[in-house]
Amino acid sequence: MKPQFSVDVILAQVIIENLYKSYASPKGKFSDSNDLSLGVVTSASTEKLEPQKKVLNTNVLKGINLEIQEGEFMVLVGPSGCGKSTLLRLIAGLEEISAGKIIIGDRTVNDLPPKSRDIAMVFQNYALYPHLKVYDNIAFGLRRMNPTQVEKKSLISTDKIIGNLSRALPTRWHYLSAQEKIIQEKVYQVAQLLEIDHLLDRLPKQLSGGQKQRVALGRAIARNPQTFLMDEPLSNLDAKLRTQTRSQIVKLQKQLQVTTIYVTHDQTEAMTMGDRIAIMNNGEIQQVATPLEVYHRPANKFVAQFIGSPPMNFMEVNWQKPNLIIHDSFNLSLPQQWLEIMGNYNYEKVYLGIRPEHFYLTTKEEASIPVIVNLVESLGNETLITANLENKPQQNLQVRIFSEQIINIGQTIYLGINLKKVSLFDFYQGKNVINNNDYISLDNKNN
Ligand SMILES: Nc1ncnc2c1ncn2[C@@H]1O[C@H](COP(=O)(O)OP(=O)(O)O)[C@@H](O)[C@H]1O
Ligand SMILES: [Mg+2]
């Protein structure tokens, strides 16, 4: 076993293999209980049931595979209800898995209780003990650790009792047992790291939200775990504090190098914090990659619309073999290089994806798409425009421009597309059809 109070970092990989989680429906019973034990409720098994006993979708996680490297900051991001917290709780051991395998460091932890997994969790609601001072909140986890790590068992007894009694006094008057001395050193060290050393004598109710969150972080760090698990830890903070704490956590993690799994529904947090991001939807991982890769090469339409704000624009266009993309407002011709890839694309329709910043303002005379402006948001450094296609008003486009030009609501403007940056998505499965889209040329139907 590693010494619990050493500052040495034990680098641990976290590997998740084919993980399933289902919840039994409270309303119905399964006709075949084997399905439940495997965590796989197939439609075939639900069909066997009486209609009134049909099991609703109870598969919360469906075959999650994820490898988190030693010391990596991995962000799990996805819409509310997609299974992020469930996945984190399974890794922590707070709930039982239905099928699959979880490995932390060199151990399979499937059957280990949370306290044996060498993890520390930080939650959105801080989960501080309200009747304990900051000092004792940070020390709490350390005191619960196996005392043989810090002192001989024989030292506990009266020494410890006196120590407990003196805890009601201000921190500097505490009577310190041998174990407490080591704990105190650790608490001070962590408090300094988080700049909360002046708060050690306060109760949680005497702290601001940001301070509470730092205490919660401190408690996790003090335990020196192999892995941090954080579930939306910044959600209760106001916008400015959130941004600050965001960068503090990243800095700390780089300093401590503890493997971290961080859950958020906020794509900005994901993009700014993660070494890599795992985007989840509906109990499945959609893509695992670096922030820039995810942004520039989204694996599918879901990822493309989830990452980026405002989101990517999608237009339903016709695909005409061998090389033509046809929209009511414009045509795109694909160059030779793409024909091989698109040769396998057999549907008549495809989604064209364009990020807001990949439009630019141009003139009627150039190859362009005429749109009518219906909202202008000037943010100073950039302007966000919502507009509708002139000849297809139900199609809404979000456009980001970096120009001082005054644009008014109701005005017709002409948009060009940065063709090197567009994406194409399979019309039915939503998969990114072409990632390497360097060579499209645009013909304007209006010319
Ligand atoms: N104890 C439970 N029993 C039944 N369903 C649950 C339970 N816990 C979570 N779920 C369901 O699992 C899904 C994923 O929940 P959760 O992991 O909390 O999502 P997220 O954290 O991504 O918002 C949700 O649809 C939720 O309703
Ligand atoms: Mg959650």
Give the integer Cα–Cα distance in Å for 312 and 329: 18
Whether residue 132 sits in one domain with residue 116: no
Average pLDDT (374-392) is 93
Q: Say if ligand 1 is within 6 A of residue 79 CB.
A: no
Q: Do 76 and 27 belong together in one domain?
A: yes
**Token pair recorded at residue 234:** 């910044």
Of 120, 140, 172, the residue that ends a domain is 120
Distance 225 CA to ligand 2 centre (A): 22
Residues 191, 42 share a domain:
no
The tens digit of pLDDT for each residue in 155-168 reads: 445 666 666 777 77
The mean pLDDT of 413-430, rounded to a whole number, is 89
- Cα–Cα distance between 242 and 233 in angstroms, integer? 9
Tell me whether strands 313-320 and 284-289 are parallel, antiparallel or unpaired.
unpaired
Nearest Cα residue to atom 25 of ligand 1 = 81
**206 pLDDT band (50/70/90 cuts)?**
very high
Distance in Å, CA 59 to ligand 1 centroid: 10
Angle separating helix axes 178-193 and 209-222, nearest 10 degrees: 130
What number does the ligand 1 atom closest to the CA of 89 have?
Answer: 17
373 and 255 inside one domain: no
State whether the beta carbon of 177 lies less than 6 angstroms from ligand 1: no
pLDDT at 31 over 70: no
Q: Please state, as a whole number, how many other Cβ atoms lie within 10 Å of the Cβ of residue 239.
A: 8
Task: Assess whether 397 and 271 both reside in one domain.
Answer: no
> Is 3 contained in some domain?
no
Whole-number Å distance between alpha carbons of 143 and 174: 15
Residues 388 and 334 grouped into a single domain: yes
Is the pLDDT higher at 249 or at 366? 249
Does 84 contact ligand 1 (Cβ within 6 A)? yes
136 shares a domain with 271? yes
End-to-end, the C-alpha distance of the chain in Å comes to: 74
**Which protein residue's CA is at the shortest distance from atom 17 of ligand 1?**
83
Arithmetic mean of pLDDT, 374-387: 94
Residues 136, 261 within the same domain = yes
Residues 347 and 200 in one domain: no
Is-contact 138 220, C-beta < 8 A? no
> Which mutation among 60, 269, 286 tests ligand 1's pocket best, with the greatest number of atoms within 8 A of CB?
60
**Same-domain status, 34 and 159:** no
Domain assignment present for residue 8? The answer is: no
CATH number at residue 413: 2.40.50.140
Looking at every residue in the chain, the average pLDDT score rounds to 83
Could you read off the pLDDT of 110-122 as tens digits, one per residue? 999 998 999 999 9
Residues 132 and 97 both lie in one domain: no
Find the domain containing 250 and state its range. Answer: 124-289
Residue 421: the pLDDT is 82
The whole-angstrom separation of Cα 429 and Cα 397 is 23
Q: Is residue 299 over pLDDT 80?
A: yes
Residue 346 lies in a domain: yes
Per-residue model confidence (pLDDT) at position 403: 78
Domain closes at, from 120, 135, 154: 120
Token reading at 335 = 């160059």
- Number of domains the chain is built from: 3
Q: How confident is the model at residue 341 (pLDDT cuts 50, 70, 90)?
A: confident
> Residue 287's pLDDT band (boundaries 50, 70, 90)?
very high
Pocket lining: 60 vs ligand 1, CB cutoff 6 Å: yes
Sequence-ordered list of residues with C-beta below 8 angstroms from that of 436, at least 6 positions apart, any chain = none
pLDDT of 97 over the 50 cut: yes
CATH number of the CATH domain containing 174: 3.40.50.300
Question: Where does the pLDDT of residue 126 fall: very low under 50, low under 70, confident under 90, or very high at 90 and above?
Answer: confident
Q: Is the CB of 57 under 6 A from ligand 1?
A: no
Which structure tokens are listed for 205? 């109710």
Tell me the CA–centroid distance for residue 80 and ligand 2, in Å: 7
**Residue 314 belongs to some domain of the structure:** yes
Assess whether the C-beta atom of 369 lies below 6 angstroms from ligand 1: no
Task: Mark which of 77, 96, 120 sits at the end of a domain.
Answer: 120
Whole-angstrom Cα Rg for the chain: 27
Q: What number of residues does the chain have?
A: 447
In this prediction, residue 311 has a pLDDT band, given cuts at 50, 70 and 90, of very high
If you take atom 12 of ligand 1, which residue's CA is the nearest one?
Answer: 60
Q: pTM of the prediction?
A: 0.82
Helix-helix angle 239-256:209-222, to 10 degrees: 10
| Residue of 48 and 344 predicted with greater confidence | 344
Mean pLDDT of 219-223: 89
In a domain, 305, yes or no: no
The protein residue with its alpha carbon nearest to ligand 1, atom 2, reads: 23
